[in-house]
Structure 1
Amino acid sequence: MLPYRDPNRPVDQRVEDLLSRMTLAEKAGQLFHAMLTMNADGSLAEAADGPFLRHGTTELVADGHLTHFNLLGRYGVRETAEWVNRLQALAADTRLGIPVTLSTDPRHAFTDNPGASFNSGAFSAWPEPLGLAAIGEPELVERFGDTVRREYLSVGFRVALHPQIDLATEPRWSRQSGTFGSSAEVTSALVRAYVRGLQGPRLGPRSVAAMVKHFPGGGPQRDGEDPHFPHGKEQIYPGGMHEYHLAPFRAAVEAGCSQMMPYYGQPIGVDGWEEVGFGFNRDVLTGLLRERLGFDGIVCTDWGLLDDAPIGGEPHEARAWGVEHLTVTERAAKALDAGADQFGGEQCPEVIVELIRSGRISEERLDASVRRLLREKFVLGLFERRYVDPDRAEETVGAAEFTTLGDTAQRRSLTVLTNHSLLPLTDRPNLYVEGVGAQTASLYGNVVADPADADVAVLRLRTPYEERPGFFESFFHSGSLAFGEERLKEILGLLAAVPTLVCVNLERPAVLPEIAAKAAALVADYGASDAALLDVAFGRARAEGRLPFELPRSMAAVEASRPDVPNDTEDPVFPYGHGLAL
C-alpha cells in the first residue's frame, strides 16, 4: 500500500507522501473549486452548456485534475447520491485516485438564487438564518447545523458554503436573508453554534467542513448595491466600524471553522487596507486573517474573480475590483500573494502552471496551499469513504425528525409586530387570502373570493425591491424598500375594507409605516410556510421572534444612514429586537 493510502499513518505523513507524487498539473488542479451540474437521471453532465458549465465533468476531472466542486441546482435525492458515486468513481480512476470534495450553497430554507442558495426541495425546510437570529438560541442553531450535517453527509456534500456571517447594517443590501442580522454579538454566538453543528467537536470523518463567509464582513456596500456587480463594488465605512464587522469572524476562527471565503467588496478609505477586492487583498487575508486572527485553514475566494465568463448566456465581468486592469494570470498571482489557497467558480489550472514555470509564483508557495487542501480530504476521511448509500440518503434527507424541527423553527421565528385585538383568530371565519394557498387556508376557515364576504383577510407580502435587468442580477433584490404608490394604494384599500392580518417576508428591512398603522395585525416572517403562519394566527403555535434588524420609517432615513453602523436609521417604525408575545 502506498503511504498516502494507508489510513493507519498520521495525516501529515499521508499528505507529504501524496504531495511528493503529484505533477505540477495535478497540484494546479487542486486550486480550483469549480461549479458542476448533473443530469436529472444522476448521470454526469458532459456537455459544456447551461448557464454555468464551460467544460464537461470528465474533462475537468481527468484532464484538468480538479477535485473540488460546487453542485448547482436541485435534483432527486437518489439521483444526487448516484451522481456523487459516479463522480467519485471517475476520480478514483485517475492516476492518484484523489477523491472529490463536494460543496453546496445553502439548501434548507426558502430563498432560490443560483448565486447564493437553493430552496429546500427534498431537504428539511427551516427559516432563513434571519429567522434563526429572530429566535436567538445558540442551542437551536447548533441543532440546525447538525441537521444540515446529517442530511448533507447522506448525499455526499462535505463542504458547506455557509454560514454567512456578514452583518445586516445596510438596509438595502440584497444578501441579508442569509445573515444573522445586524448584531455582532448575536452573530458571534450563533456562528459558534453553527460551526459546532456542522463540524462537531473537531473536524473528522463525520463532519461537514464550514466555509464561513464573507471575510472581513460584507454588508457595508455603497448605496446597498451588491459587489457581484460593478456598480456595487465599493465597500465603505463612514462610521469607522470595520472592527465591529470583524467580530463574528473572530468567533468563527475561535470555533475552529475549516475554511474562509473573502467577499468581492473593494474597501474604500480604510487605513492600512489596499483598495482592491478582498480576494486580492494581502492586508486583509494575510495581515488580518492569517497573522492577526491566526487562521490556518483554507481560504477560498468567492466565485468568479479571475475570468470574464458568461452567466446565463450574458456577458459577465470578473469581480476583480481594483485590479480590473490585470490579466487573468496576474490576478491569480495577486490572489496567491495575498494569501488565497483556492479560486471559487474558476477552472483554469493552466494559469497556475504558467505562473510556476515562469517563476512568478514558487512551487513552495503552491505546495503550501495544496497541502492545506489535501489535508482536509484526509481529515474528512474521503480516501476511506468516498461513496454514499442512495437508500440511506433517501431515508435521511427530509426525515420526519428533521422536518419537524424545521417546521417548529418556522413557527417560532415569526415576529408579531402589531396586534390590534385580531389574534389569535377563533372558530372558522370566512377568509379572504392573497399570497396564501387557498387549499391550506381552507383547513382553517371558509375561503371566499371577495373581501366583502370575509370576516378576516390574510395578506402575504414580500419585501419590495426594484426589478433589475439581466438573468443573474434579477435574483439579487436591491433598491427601494418601499412599496410603489399604486401597490400601496391597493394594499391600504384591502386593509380599509376588512380586518387584515398582513405578513411580510423580510429578506431585507421593509419600509412599512402606512401598513403598520392600518393593519389589524402585522407579522414578519423570514421563510415560513402558509401552515406555519396560520397555525400562529389561530393560536395553534407560538410566535417567539424578535426583529434581527430595525424597520426604517422612510427611504429618506435609509439613504441618510451609515452603511456600516447597525440600526442607524432615524426614528424607525420598529426598533431592533421588537416583537410582541402572542
Structure 2
Amino acid sequence: MPTPPYRDPNRPVDERVEDLLTRMTLAEKAGQLFHTTLTMNADGTLAEAEEGGPLRQGTTELVVDGHLSHFNLVGQYGVRETAEWANRLQALAADTRLGIPVTLSTDPRHAFIDNPGASFHSGAFSAWPEPLGLAAIGDPELVEKFGDTIRREYLAVGFRVALHPQIDLATEPRWSRQSGTFGSSAEVTSALVRAYIRGLQGPRLGPRSVAAMVKHFPGGGPRKDGEDPHFPHGKDQVYPGGMRDLHLAPFRAAIEAGCSQLMPCHGRPIGVDGWEEVGFGFNRDVLTGLLRERLGFDGIVCTDWGLLTDAPVLGESHEARAWGVEHLSVAERAAKALDAGADQFGGEQCPEVVVELVRSGRISEERLDTSVRRLLREKFALGLFDTPYVCPNRAEETVGAAEFTALGQSAQRRSLTVLTNRSLLPLTDRPNLYVEGVVAQTASLYGNVVTDPVDADVAVLRLRTPHEERPGRFESFFHSGSLAFPEKRLKEILGLLDAVPTLVCVNLERPAVLPEIAAKAAALVADYGACDAALLDIAFGRARAEGRLPFELPRSMAAVEASRPDVPGDTEDPVFPYGHGLEI
C-alpha cells in the first residue's frame, strides 16, 4: 500500500494535517481533546488499572480505546526508566489504527518545591531557584539558558510540552502560587517570559523544541483573600484597583514571542465589565473575545486541570472546578468550554462526552475539527510523527549533566538577596557555627559546628515563609493564609537572635511578614530555592549574591488585608520595597 500523505515527512505540515483529519473517526477526534494525567511503574513499564487500584483507566485503555494522545506524567522516576516508559507509550500509540504519536507534558521539574498540583522537586534534573529567584536576578540571558536547559533535559526523556512558564503577577501577598511566578512586575515578567519561550521553543516550533503552555490566562494573581482557585473558597478573582490590563501584559509578550499554548486560569472574574462571571475555561468573553479576536492568538488553549468531572486527588474526593457553572452537567460544561474557545480539557479523560455532543447536534464536527487541527499541527511541527522515540543512554547522559548542574548552582547563588547586613557578612576563618535548618555536615565544611548557641560565634538559621495549616491532604501543599510567624515561634527566633549574632535566611515562596526579625538579625537573606552550600558560599564571600526582591515584604498582616489584590506593591509602609537588595 502507498504511504499515506500524513506519513510523508517531505509534505507540508498543513497538508499532512488535513490528510490525517479526513481519515479520523469522530471518536479518534474526540480523544485528541483530552490532556489527562498519567503515571508509570517505577521499572518503566506502563501503568494499567487494577481492581481496587488508584487508576480509573489504565494506559492501554486510554490510548487504544479512548484514542487519547496527550498525557501529563505525574510523579518522579528514574531517568532511564522514564525514557524507556516514553518509548513503550509511543510504541503502544504506533500500533493503533492511525498511529498518532503521544505528546508528553510535565509540570516544572527543576527547582525545590514539591507540590503534586503545581511542580515537582528537581530530583535527577538540574536544580535551579524557583522562577521568583530568576526574577530576583532579572537577567533575560540567564532565563533563556534556563529555558534551553529545560528543553534539552525534557527532550532527552520524551517530554514535548512544558506546562509552564507561569506568568501570573504576584500582587496578592497571601496567594500560594507565587513561587512559580516572576514576581509582581509586569515589565520584568514580560521580558523574562520572552526569554523563557526562546529557550524552550527556539526561534520557531520544530523537532528540537519543547512547546510552552503559558499560564494562567488572563493572569491568576488577583485572588480574593489570597485563596487558590483549585478550591471552592478560592474561586473568585477580583480587580478592585482596576489593573486588569496590567495582568494581561505578560501574556501579550508571550503571544508576541510565539508561545504555542495557553492555559486559562481556574478562577472566575467578579465585577469585571464585559466578562461573564464563570471560570475562565468556560468564558467566551475572555477566550474568544479577548484572546482569539483581540490578541490574535491561534495556538492551543488547554483548560486547567479538572473542570468537567468530580475526581479524587491524592485519595480525596474533589469537586470539578466548574466555577460559576456548577449547576451544569458534565456534557453541558464541555459544550460551554468548546463554545468559549477551548481546544482541550486538562486532567480529564471522557471523550465519550464530546462524541455524544456531536451526535446530538449540540457541537458541530466542524467545531471539533478546528481544535483537532491545532493539536495535530503541533504534533507534526514537533516531529513526533517522524521521530517519536528517545535514547535511554542519551537520557542518562543529559539529565542532570554537569553543564546544567553548574548553571543551576550558579543561579541559586546569584538569586540570594541580602536584605540587611549589620557588619556580619562576609564571615571569615572557621567560626564556631550553631545551625538550624542547615545540614550540619554541610556547615562543617565552613566552620566548627556546635550544638549549643552559647558556644557559637555565629548562628545560621534557615526559615520558611509561615502559612496556615489547611485540612485535606491536597490543600496542605498550597501554603496559604497568614504570612506572619506565630507568636510562640517568633519568640523562639528572637531569643536566638538575642543570644548570638545570627544570619537568618528566609525562603520566600510568598512575602513573609518579619519586621521584628529584620530589626534583630545580624544579617537577613532571602532565598527562593537554594541549597545550604549556596547560602554558605554567599555568607563566606565565596560567591556573590545579586538578588533583588521580586515583590515587597509587608510590615503586617493588617497591611496585607488592606491592600488591593490586583495592585503590585500596595501594602502600606513595607519593611522592604520591591527591588531591595544589598551588595556585600
- Structure 1 length as normaliser, TM-score? 0.99
Q: 2: distance between equivalents of 1:20 and 1:50? A: 40
CA displacement at 1:300 relative to structure 2: 0.1
What is the alpha-carbon distance in structure 2 between the residues aligned to residue 470 and residue 372 of structure 1? 38
Distance 1:206 1:72 in 2: 23
- Contact 2:48 2:55 (8 Å CA) reproduced: no
Match of 1:381 among 380, 383, 386: 383
Q: Secondary structure at the match of 2:318?
A: coil
- Note if contact 1:52-1:311 (Cα within 8 Å) is conserved in structure 2: no
Counterpart residue number, 2:62: 60
Aligned 8 A contact 2:66 2:351 in 1: yes
The amino acid that maps onto 1:98 is I
3-state SS of the aligned residue for 1:378? helix
Secondary structure of 2:461's partner?
strand
Specify which of 463, 471, 478 is matched with residue 461 of structure 1: 463
2:501 partner amino acid: P
- Give the distance between the partners of 1:517 and 1:52, measured in 2 at CA: 50
Q: Deviations over 1:136-165 (max 9, x none)?
A: 011000010000000000000000000000
Rounded to whole Å, the distance in 2 between the matches of 1:48 and 1:340 is 33
Matched to 2:222, the amino acid is P
Distance in 2 separating the partners of 1:483 and 1:6 = 62
- Find out whether 1:504 has 2:496 as its counterpart: no
State the partner residue of 1:566.
568
Aligned counterparts, 1:134-153, within 5 A: 134-153=136-155
User: What one-letter code is carried by the residue in structure 1 that aligns with 2:137?
Assistant: I
| Corresponding residue number in structure 1 for 2:311 | 309
Separation in 1, partners of 2:294, 2:175 = 28
Match of 2:497 in 1: 495
- CA–CA distance in structure 2, aligned partners of residues 20 and 214 of structure 1: 33
- Amino acid paired to 2:539: A
Residues 1:533 and 1:136: Cα distance change in structure 2 (over 3 Å): same
SS in 2 for 1:579: coil
| Separation in 1, partners of 2:171, 2:121 | 25
Preserved contact between residue 35 and residue 52 of structure 1 (Cα < 8 Å) = no
Query: Cα gap change, 1:292/1:418 in structure 2, threshold over 3 Å: closer, same or farther?
Result: same
Q: Given residue 453 of structure 2, which amino acid in structure 1 is its aligned partner?
A: P
2:159 alignment partner in structure 1: 157
Question: What is residue 116 of structure 1 aligned with on the other side?
Answer: 118
* Structure 1: 4+ residue segments shifted above 6 A: 49-52
Structure 2 partner of 1:424: 426
Q: Could you tell me how far apart the structure 1 residues matched to 2:521 and 2:160 are?
A: 46
Deviation at 1:52, TM superposition (A): 7.0
| Alpha carbons 1:51, 1:313 under 8 Å: kept | no
Structure 1 residue 86 displacement after superposition: 0.4
Matches within 5 A, 1:92-241: 92-241=94-243
Asked whether the equivalents of residues 51 and 311 of structure 1 are also in contact (C-alpha less than 8 Å), the reply is no
How many corresponding residue pairs? 582
Query: Which aligned pairs between 1:295-306 and structure 2 lie closer than 5 A?
Result: 295-306=297-308
Q: Report the equivalent of 1:323.
A: 325
CA deviation profile, 1:533-574 (whole Å, cap 9, x unmatched) = 000000000000000000000000000000000010000000
Which of the numbers 33, 41, 44 marks the counterpart of 2:43? 41
* SS class of match (1:120): coil
Q: Distance in 2 between matches of 1:319 and 1:280?
A: 11
Is the 1:50–1:312 Cα contact (8 Å) retained in structure 2?
no
Q: Describe the superposition over 1:152-179 as per-residue Cα deviations: whole angstroms up to 9, x where unpaired.
A: 0000000000000000000000000000
> How big is the shift at 1:51?
9.6
Alignment root-mean-square deviation, CA = 0.9
- Aligned residue among 408, 411, 434 for 1:409: 411
1:47 Cα offset (Å): 2.2
Report percent identity of matched pairs.
Answer: 88
State the 1:312 CA deviation. 1.7
1:366-406 Cα offsets, whole Å, 9 max, x none, are 00000000000000000111000000000000000000000
Which one-letter code corresponds to 2:272 in the other structure? Answer: V
2:281 — aligned with what?
Answer: 279
| Alpha-carbon distance in structure 2 between the residues aligned to 1:550 and 1:467 | 24
Q: C-alpha distance in 2, partners of 1:543/1:124?
A: 20
Letter in 1 for 2:468: E
CA contact (8 A) 2:136 2:549 kept: yes
Residue 91 of structure 1 aligns with which residue? 93
Map of 2:484 onto structure 1: 482
Q: Distance in 1 between matches of 2:272 and 2:372?
A: 32
Contact kept in structure 2, 1:167 and 1:184, CA below 8 Å: yes
Specify every segment of 5 or more residues in structure 1 that has no aligned partner in the other structure, as ranges: none
1:249 to 243, 248, 251: 251
- TM-aligned CA deviation for residue 183 of structure 1: 0.3
Q: Is the 8 A contact 1:61 1:90 kept in 2?
A: yes
Q: Give how far 1:199 is off.
A: 0.1
Over 3 Å counting, the alpha-carbon distance change for 1:270 and 1:50 in structure 2 is: farther
Structure-2 separation of matches of 1:404 and 1:113: 25
Kept in 1, the 8 Å contact 2:6–2:17? The answer is yes
Contact preservation (8 Å) 1:464, 1:510: yes
- Residues of 1 paired with 2:171 and 2:568: CA distance? 5
Q: Is residue 560–residue 571 contact of structure 2 (8 Å, CA) maintained in 1?
A: yes
Q: For the residues of structure 1 that align with 2:576 and 2:259, how far apart are their CA atoms?
A: 34
Asked if the contact 2:89/2:102 (under 8 Å) is kept, the reply is yes
Corresponding residue for residue 520 of structure 2: 518
Query: Whole-Å Cα distance in 1 between the matches of residues 54 and 246 of structure 2?
Result: 35
Deviations 1:193-238 (A, max 9, x none): 0000000000000000000000000010110000000000000000
Letter in 1 for 2:319: E
Give structure 2 stretches of 5+ with no counterpart.
Answer: none
Which amino acid is the alignment partner of residue 540 of structure 1?
Answer: R
Quote the offset at 1:512 in angstroms.
0.4
Q: Which residue of 1 aligns with 2:12?
A: 10
Cα distance in 2 between the residues matched to 1:578 and 1:51: 51
Structure 1 Cα separation of the partners of residues 51 and 171 of structure 2: 38
Q: C-alpha separation between the residues in 1 aligned to 2:38 and 2:569?
A: 39
Q: Secondary structure at the match of 1:303?
A: coil
1:310 deviates by 1.2
Conservation of the 8 A alpha-carbon contact between 1:51 and 1:310: no
Residue among 439, 442, 453 paired with 1:440? 442
Q: In the TM superposition, what whole-angstrom CA distance separates every residue of 1:41-79 from its partner, at most 9, and x where no partner exists?
A: 000000258997421000000000000000000100000
What is the distance in 2 between the residues matched to 1:54 and 1:380? 30
- One-letter amino acid matched to 1:192: R
Equivalent in the alignment of 2:557: 555
**Corresponding residue for 2:540?**
538
TM-score by length of 2: 0.99
For 2:130 and 2:49, the matched residues in 1 are separated by 34
